[in-house]
Amino acid sequence: MVARIGVLIGSQESEVRSQNSGVRRQESGVIWEVERKLKEAMLYQKQQDGRVFCQLCPHYCLIEEGKRGICQVRENRGGLLYSLVFGRTVTQNVDRVEKKPLFHFYPGSNSYSLATAGCNFHCQYCTNWQVSQMSAEQFAEFGVEASPEKIVTDALKTGCRSIAYTYVEPTIFFEYVYEIASLAHSHGLFNLFKTNGFMTMEMLKICHSFLNAANVDLKAFRDKTYRQFGGRLQPVLDSLKFMKALGIWLEITTVIIPGVNDENQEIEDIAGFIAQELGVDTPWHITRFFPAYKMENIPPTPLEMLYKARKIGLEKGLRYVYFGNLLGEGNQDTICPNCGKLLIQRRGCELVENLMQSDQCPSCGILIPGVGLSHQISEDLT
């Protein structure tokens, strides 16, 4: 784990295409570390004037020589775009897959979870802001070397079924993801994203070869709110629809924040989009907000607001609506939408009992959507 480092990246408008305010390297010892770990980026175009056009996420940064993109971890050097975070992590953990959260993907299995630094958003309620807003210089100091081969080896040694790219946005360390995930796929491991969904179709086309499941944050259904977080709504909706078309297993998370995205109409719009565009069998995780980062003055989500959101989701036809950050009997259980029988019992992110013996309800026989639902609880975390 990393120390609590809080150097923040200044706000940028999400549609800005020319990036002129990149952070320069200043500490000679750290400069060497950053330069030593350079990896030429994927998905960019060289420009005749020496700038580079990044095509990894919908910010589409046009980056001048010596400057960085909005994510602060991709830099133009000599007319070439480089990733500054390849081959190092700030955290590696073995988590239950439910922690992502993914409730309909090999329940109870372990997922080898990792992150670098950086993000293409700057959400004011980020719970991992010490890492997501960390500079490349700080990352070079605190990050730990970990080759793709070592990551995959460690995942196999710890009995994990999957590798999860999580804690920060995996899009911004895509070169690292690509090499790990390709190797993991060849060794029979699944690959999972916990993502904000702000990525290009070009990137998703590459992901199609190795990405098995993703939990995507649908943070709001108002573009104004997304712009406050440093993004835009429509690219996220487009990514969700494209991931669905590619056959990637999807689950959606929405953190309900008082005064930000808690109006009935907006919640109805979110639930309606999920039902109509992604399907009524898409799990929706309604998550309780707790004060964090730049939103420490906002109170936790009232329980009645969460119950209201769940009611709206069910009224829109969603069959699997779960609560996050809210312990309580039944809040994380999977129930058959046809006969009402308990299928998978959970306590928070821990699986208590899995009654599934196949992909069908053992009581009424209806097909339950998901991947590997009959998987039994794996060994305890090591």
Domains along the chain with CATH numbers: 18-83 (no CATH), 88-354 (3.20.20.70)
Res 136: pLDDT = 86
pTM (global) more than 0.75:
yes
Q: Is 54 annotated as a binding residue?
A: no
> Would you mind telling me the total number of residues written for the chain in this entry?
382
Is 245 buried (19+), middle (13-18) or exposed (0-12) by CB count in 10 A?
A: exposed
Identify the H or E element spanning 207.
helix 201-207
**Do residues 82 and 74 touch, judged by C-beta distance below 8 A?**
yes
Is 298 buried (19+), middle (13-18) or exposed (0-12) by CB count in 10 A?
A: middle
**Do residues 36 and 82 touch, judged by C-beta distance below 8 A?**
no
Q: Is 126 annotated as a binding residue?
A: yes
- Among residues 53, 79, 54, the alpha carbon closest in space to that of 65 is found at 79
Res 376: pLDDT = 84
**Which parts of the chain register pLDDT below 70?**
1-37, 378-382
Residue 344 in tokens: 């998978």
User: What pLDDT, in 10s, does the model give residues 135-154?
Assistant: 888 898 889 999 999 999 99
**Do residues 377 and 111 touch, judged by C-beta distance below 8 A?**
no
Q: Is 160 annotated as a binding residue?
A: no
Crossing angle of helices 303-315/264-273, nearest 10°? Answer: 40
User: What pLDDT, in 10s, does the model give residues 193-224?
Assistant: 999 999 999 999 999 999 999 999 999 999 99
**Do residues 76 and 51 touch, judged by C-beta distance below 8 A?**
yes
